[in-house]
Amino acid sequence: MTNDLKAQIGLINNRLSELSYGENPNELYEPIRYIMSLGGKRLRPVLVLLAYRLFKDDPESILDQALAVEVFHNFTLMHDDIMDEAPLRRGKPTVHEKWNSSTAILSGDVMLVKAYDLLLDAPTDLKAIITAFNACAAGVCEGQQFDMNFETLNTVSEADYIHMIKLKTAVLLGFSLKLGAMLAGADEQACEKLYDFGVHIGIGFQLKDDLLDVYADQEKFGKQVGGDIIANKKTFLLLKALELSNDEQKSELENWISATEFNSDEKVREVTRVYDEMGIRQLTLDKMNEYFNKGFEALNDIPVEEGKKRPLISFAEYLIDRDK
Amino acid sequence: MTNDLKAQIGLINNRLSELSYGENPNELYEPIRYIMSLGGKRLRPVLVLLAYRLFKDDPESILDQALAVEVFHNFTLMHDDIMDEAPLRRGKPTVHEKWNSSTAILSGDVMLVKAYDLLLDAPTDLKAIITAFNACAAGVCEGQQFDMNFETLNTVSEADYIHMIKLKTAVLLGFSLKLGAMLAGADEQACEKLYDFGVHIGIGFQLKDDLLDVYADQEKFGKQVGGDIIANKKTFLLLKALELSNDEQKSELENWISATEFNSDEKVREVTRVYDEMGIRQLTLDKMNEYFNKGFEALNDIPVEEGKKRPLISFAEYLIDRDK
């Protein structure tokens, strides 16, 4: 990570530590302070700042708007964790586990309101900014619903899967970049190109997540390699394998998916062997790189001197090259 | 109900029937159409129109903003019903019963986003409108949290109870009126007076609800008289009775509250008898009228010719005089 990037994250975390969400009743606001304190890469607000800096030099003037995106993101995590019945978030108990579901619903609701609050001092056209934010927010909800729908389906097409991860993950990265550009008063074309850059990088980013689950170096990964395989999660790798398998491979995969008692290590090893046999790793890498390339093409189209784009490119490369 | 009032409700329901929230995935948007179709008095958007008409004559130009308040209100119902584990809403299955909790959480979230969408075409200062809406929305969440907190307490003071119903119910009525005035470009003092009118009427309205539960005419009421007594709901009547009771009355009330097996009719009859003995009905009526009077004083202070205020006064009287 470059020093410049560390400085941007520092700006975000400093302002975040000063934010007050509300006090009374404490049961409503304490879970917000809790989830916001769990850390994370602050990826999205950093994207707001980096996009803004393509056009203007005072990112400290838009920190609240950048944080709107981080508060929104954490609202979605708080509600998604209820729906997914997730016990842990960043190694700590989730809000619905530490308190209860009602508190997680209601604190999440007020977080969404606070996200709008943080947008209000935007120096430029507030209506355009909230219109774009609303489209993004509705998209993220649609993505989560598609993801839940997919759990009950036997198979999902590649196009449907890409559409789901675009909505669930990528549109918020696209919006973050677009917001930075809008706040800087950039023209509409530049805003849209930055949005496209973010959406494509975001899809690539999620495909990388799917890939790392199977092919990460366990020493560096931090989580259990193969967790998605054990949980039968419909990742790009599994969907692609189901789509392209011959009868024997398909029945092997389906046996592992339907097995109720199994040795986890063996399941991971055997499903990975089928993936290897079919070249799923390379297929996923190709698809991922296709999206990363589309992303960089969109960035390339923005008429800003190349030197200015360097921090954004570095950050994207940092995300692309991560091994955890 | 006056013909004028029916006409306003007609305007609201017509525009409501034209609204499109989204299509895909259907699992996300169908529950929104469902809850919005369950009906209700459309009280809040009508208040927006009536306040607007104190200053301007074209309420049809602000129907979307009026509907923002109705969509927001139904969002809170959808989420409150999950928290309260309510099986029915207006005699029909609640969203989390008809679908599931995850769907009710996520459809509710997207409804909140749609409420903001409906505000966006406001003809006046959008920032001021969203600032006021956010304060109201956060207040409603705070009220719901206080209400949930109260369930676990043995007793609640009158002041805390009034504060809770103000947040949970009354600030949205106040905001609806203020929004109408803001959309008409009324000055700040008029906006605040209308807000005060709504908040005071709203508190009186909730006290009337508490009163009707015990003292409604069963023929006209529509629900079971005494439902709050059976459920040990901490209404103004119960809190006041617990506060003012002598030792004997207190132990009678507490015995009924702690009883796990009882005859419902007997419980309602006996608790009502204690209320009667203590004059709780009149105390509640006095408190309710105190708030209604404060409300009408605030309305009185608005420098608009009295004839113009007539529809708003009629509507408030209609709410005050209801017997169900």
Question: Chain A residue closest to B27 (CA)?
Answer: A145
pLDDT class of B205 with cuts at 50, 70, 90: very high
Q: How far does B111 lie from chain A, in Å, by closest CA?
A: 9
Nearest to A113 among B27, B137, B148 (CB): B137
- Please spell the DSSP secondary structure of A97-139, one letter per residue: HHS-HHHHHHHHHHHHHHHHHHHTT-SS-HHHHHHHHHHHHHH
* Residue B322 binned pLDDT confidence (cut-offs 50, 70, 90): confident
Which chain A residues contact residue B112 at CB under 8 A? 109, 112-113
Cβ atoms of A110 and B107 within 8 Å: the answer is no
Is the pLDDT at B87 greater than 90? The verdict is yes
Partnered with residue A92 across adjacent β-strands are: A89
Nearest to A141 among B106, B116, B149 (CB): B106
Evaluate the omega torsion of the peptide bond into residue B311 and state whether it is cis, within 30 degrees of 0: no
Residue type, B300: N
Helical axes B101-119 vs B26-37, angle rounded to 10°: 70
Of A27, A82, A127, the CB nearest to B105: A82
pLDDT at B2: 86
Low-confidence ranges of chain A (pLDDT < 50): none
Region B244-261 average pLDDT? 95
A105 and B105 in contact by Cβ < 8 A?
A: yes
CB-based contact B25 A149, cutoff 8 Å:
yes
- Do B74 and B31 touch, CB atoms closer than 8 A? no
Q: pTM of the entire structure?
A: 0.95
How far apart, in whole angstroms, are the C-alpha atoms of residue A202 and residue A47? 12
- Comparing alpha-carbon positions, the chain B residue that sits nearest to A111 is B138
Contact residues, chain B, for A118 at CB < 8 Å: none
Of B22, B109, B114, the CB nearest to A112: B109
Looking at residues B138-164, what average pLDDT do you find? 95
The answer to whether B120 contacts A130, with C-beta atoms less than 8 Å apart, is yes
What single letter denotes the amino acid at residue A227? G
Chain B positions in Cβ-Cβ contact with residue A109 (cut-off 8 Å):
79, 108-109, 112, 141
B113·A134 Cβ contact <8 A? yes
**Measured distance CA(B31)–CA(B181) in Å, rounded:** 32
Pairing between strand A88-89 and B92-93? unpaired
Interface test with B, best of A141, A144, A164 (most B CBs within 10 A): A141
Asked if residue B222 has pLDDT above 90, the reply is: no
Predicted complex ipTM: 0.95
pLDDT at position A117: 97
> Which residues of A fall within a CB distance of 8 Å from B146?
25
The per-residue pLDDT for B195 is: 98
Q: Is B257 left (phi over 0), alpha (psi -120 to 50) or beta?
A: alpha
Over residues B24-59, the pLDDT tens digits come to 999 999 999 999 999 888 999 999 999 999 999 999
Chain pair A-B, CB pairs under 8 angstroms: 113
Chain B CB contacts of A28 below 8 Å = 141-142, 145
Instruction: For residue range B118-136, list pLDDT tens digits in order.
Output: 999 988 899 999 999 999 9
How do residues B165-198 score in pLDDT, each as one tens digit?
999 999 999 999 999 999 999 999 999 999 999 9
Helix (H/G/I), strand (E/B), else coil: B237? helix
The first and second tokens of residue A167, run together, are: 């909505």
Contact predicate B195/B178, CB 8 Å: yes
Q: Is B142 in contact with A117 (Cβ distance < 8 A)? A: no
Residue B178 one-letter amino acid: K
Confidence grade of residue B6 (pLDDT, cut at 50, 70, 90): very high
CB neighbourhood size of A24 (10 A) = 11
Chain B's closest residue to A106, CA to CA, is B141
Task: Label residues B261-292 b or e (16+ Cβ within 10 Å = b).
Answer: eeeeeebbebbbebbeebebeebbeebbeebb
Q: What is the mean pLDDT of residues B286-295?
A: 96
B144 to chain A: closest CA residue: A106
Task: Report pLDDT for B264.
Answer: 94
Average pLDDT of span B100-109: 97
Across the interface, whether the CB atoms of B134 and A116 are under 8 A apart is answered yes
For A246-293, what is each residue's pLDDT tens digit? 999 999 999 999 999 999 999 999 999 999 999 999 999 999 999 999
The full set of domains in chain B, from first to last, is 3-321 (1.10.600.10)
CA distance B212 to B234: 14
